[in-house]
């Protein structure tokens, strides 16, 4: 459940399981990265094992760098 603290949204509780946490991370991927994955056009280095090991940043530009994309996309 979301609440407001100092004008910023906060979560009262985290995901119930590790699986839920991993799935939730997918919701925060940049739209172009999501599209590339669905179309099979992601960098060769981006696979399930790599994705599970990294600490995915929320900033889309940082996601591109962390996942092997050119930061200027």
Distance CA(45)–CA(51), nearest Å, equals 9
Domains of the chain: which residue ranges?
25-73
pLDDT tens digits, 10-23? 767 777 888 888 77
Per-residue pLDDT of 27-53, as tens digits, reads 889 999 999 999 999 988 888 888 778
Strands (E), the chain: 2-5, 8-11
- Specify which residues 9 forms β-bridges with: 4
């Amino acid at each position: 459940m979301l609440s407001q603290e100092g004008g910023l949204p906060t979560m009262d509780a985290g995901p119930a399981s590790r699986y839920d946490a991993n799935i939730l991370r997918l919701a925060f991927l940049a739209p172009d990265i999501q599209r590339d994955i669905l179309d099979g056009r992601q960098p060769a280095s981006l696979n399930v094992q790599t994705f599970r090991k990294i600490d995915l940043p929320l900033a889309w530009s940082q996601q591109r760098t962390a996942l092997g994309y050119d930061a200027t996309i």
